[in-house]
Chain A
Amino acid sequence: MKYALLIYSAPDTSERPYAEAREAWVDYARAVKEAGILLGAEQLAETDTATSVRVRGGQRLLTDGPFLETKEHLGGFFLIDVPDLDTALDWAARMPHAASGTAEVRAVRTGMAWQAVLG
C-alpha cells in the first residue's frame, strides 16, 4: 500500500543545531531510498509564504497565509510503498522531527476515476 508520511512541526521548536537536523534528514532519506520503498518526497516553503485560494460566486478570493492557523505546520512529506500500516508507522517513527513534532500517516487511495486519466 502507498502511504503519505506528512511532516508537521512548529517552527524553531527544535533545539538541535541546524546542521545536526539536516544530517538526520539526509540519513533518513538515504534509509528510505535504500529500503526501496520511496515514491516521492518534497519539502514545502515556510507556511508564512503560503497563499490560500477560494472561488466563491465566480470570484477568486486570496488569503495571505495558510488555510489553517495552527501551531504545527505541514512542512513536507514522504510518499512510500510498504505492505501495511504497521510498517508505515515504523517509518514515520523514524522521521527525525517525530521526537519534537508530529508525523501524520495517511494511506493513499488507488483506483479512483481521476487517477485513470493520469495513467
Chain B
Amino acid sequence: MDTDGDPVAGVLEHAYRDEWSAVVATLARRLGDLQAAEDAAAEAFAAAARVWARDGTPPNPGGWLMTTAWRKAVDQLRGKRAIAVDPQQFPDTGAASASDAPPVTVGGDDQLGLVFACCHPALALEVRVALTLRFVAGLTTRQIAAAFVLPEATLAQRLVRAKRKISESGIRFEVPGPDALAGRLDGVHAVVYLVFNEGYAASGGEQLIHADLCEEAIWLGRLLHRLLPEDTETAGLVALMLLHHSRAAARQDPDGGAVLLADQDRARWDAALIADGTAILDAAVARRRPGPYQIEAAIAALHAAADSFEATDWPQIAALYGTLARLSPSPVVEVNRAVAVGMADGPHAGLAILEPVLASGALTGYAPLHAAHADLLERAGLAAEASAAWARAERAMGNAALQRELHRRRAATAGSELGSRRGEPAVVRYKNFPTGVETSGLGP
C-alpha cells in the first residue's frame, strides 16, 4: 500500500498506528463525536510531523500525541462554544467540562469501544469496514479507496455520513453489556474477516492477492485478541487468518497467476506464520469453547501440517466440515465438505453431498461450487460434464487471475478423453477458499 507522498507522514501513519487508534478511541469516547476526535488526532499527528522532525521523537510518543490531541480538542470545543447560541447543544459531551488536563491513560477499553462503534450493526457492512480501517487500523481514506477499487470521493463521503450517523443517532463508544456482547462480537469478527477475504481473493480486478489487506485484517485481529484474550473465537479468527496467509507466497506464480493448493510449493509456505497460528489455535482449543472460526482454523492447520496434498488428513478435515455444518450450516460449508469427503471417500461420495446444493440453486453464481463440481466429475471420469462445469465456474469467477486458471483447467479437461487418466494426482481445486463470508458487497 502506498504511503501517500510525504515521507514523514508515511512514517507516522505506520509507526504510530497503535497511537492513532488509541488517541482517536480515547477522544471519541470523551467527546462522543468521531469527527471531532479525528480532527484533533489529525492535528496532533501534523504537529508531530513538524516537531519530531525538528526535535527528534519524544521518549513517549503515545503520551505526546495524546496530550497534544487533547489540547487541540479542547481548543476546538472552546471555539465552537464561543459561537454557539445555546450551550445546551453540548449536553452530554464529558469534554464540555473541558478541563485542560489530558486523559491520563489510554485504556484498551477505549479502543474496544471504538471497535464496537465502528462495527455497530446499525451501520451498513461496507460502512463498518471503511470506519474500522480508517479509525482502528489507521489507514488513510486514499488507501482504503484504493484497496476496494472505489473512487476516493465515494469513500470519503461514506465516512462523513457514517461519522454523522454515529454522533447524531447516539451510537456509543462502549463495550456492549454481557447480554449483547457475543452477538456484537460476531459482527466485529465478520468485518475483520471480510477485510481478510477481500485481500485473500479480491472479488474483482486483476490481482489475486492484496497482501496488505490481509495484513491489515491480521493486525486488527491481533489487536482484538490482545484486548479480549479470553475470547476463543477471536483467537480462532486470528489463527485462521495467519494459517491462510502463510500460503500467500505460494498461491501466486510470478506472472500473477493463481496456484491452487494441490500445486503449491509447500517449501514456500511461511513456517513462522504457521507456527504462530497453530500456537494461538491450540491455546484457544484448550479452553473448550469451540466455534466456527476455531474449526475453520483447525482445518487450515491440518492443511498446513501436511507434507503434501496427497498426505493431507482428509478424513479429519471432512469430519471437521461436518461439525462446522452442524454448528453454522450454510451451502458454502457444504461445498467445502463435499470436496473434503470427495478426497476422503472418493468422488462419488463428494458428488452426493454436492447434489442438493446444486439442486437448490442457492449458489448458482458462486464459482467455487462449479469448480468443486467440475473437479469431482473429472475424477469420476465424466469428462464432458466436467468441462461444462469448468465453463460455469469460469463465467462465475470475478477474479481475473483465478479465471485464467479455471480456463486452463477447462482446456485440460477438454483435451483429455478422461480427466482421471491424466496421471495427475487427484486434486481439490478450491479447498483453500475461505468460507464464512461469501460476498463482500464492496464492489464499485
Contacts and interface: CB of A to CB of B under 8 A. Distances in A.
B170 A110 contact: no
Contact of B122 (A1, A89, A116): A89
Nearest to A89: B122
Nearest to B84: A111
A39 to B, nearest CB: 15
Interface string B58-100: 0000000000000000000000000001101101100000000
Contacts of A106: 169
Interface-central residue, B88, B89, B169, B171, by most chain A CB under 10 Å: B169
Contact of A110 (B85, B88, B172, B174): B88
B104 interface: no
Given A85-B122, A86-B176, A116 B86 contact: yes
Contact of A111 (B88, B170, B180): B88
Interface string A37-74: 00000000000000000000000000000000000000
Contact of A107 (B88, B170, B174, B180): B170
A55 B417 CA distance: 77
Nearest to A2: B170
Contacts of B176: 86
A110 B87 CA distance: 11
Interface residues of B, number: 16
B371 to A, nearest CB: 39
Interface in B118-175: 120, 122, 168-172, 174
A23 interface: no
Contact of A85 (B88, B92, B169, B180): B169
A110 B171 contact: no
A8 B92 CA distance: 31
Contact of A86 (B89, B91, B168, B180): B180
Interface residues of A, number: 16
A86 B120 CA distance: 9
Contacts of A110: 88-89, 91
A113 interface: yes
Contacts of B120: 85
A89 B176 CA distance: 13
B277 to A, nearest CB: 34
A84 interface: yes
A84 B116 CA distance: 14
Interface string B18-37: 00000000000000000000
A20 to B, nearest CB: 28
Contacts of B180: 86
A4 to B, nearest CB: 11
A5 interface: no
B86 A111 contact: yes
A119 B152 CA distance: 44
A83 B171 CA distance: 10
A6 interface: no
A111 B89 contact: yes
A85 B86 contact: no
Contact of B169 (A107, A111, A113, A116): A107
16 contacts: A1-B170, A83-B170, A84-B170, A85-B120, A85-B170, A86-B172, A86-B176, A86-B180, A105-B169, A106-B169, A107-B170, A109-B168, A110-B89, A111-B86, A111-B88, A116-B86
Given A89-B122, A111-B86, 5 more contacts: A86-B176, A106-B169, A107-B168, A110-B88, A111-B91
Q: Which 6 pairs from chain A and chain B are nearest by CB?
A: A111-B89, A85-B170, A1-B170, A84-B172, A107-B169, A84-B170
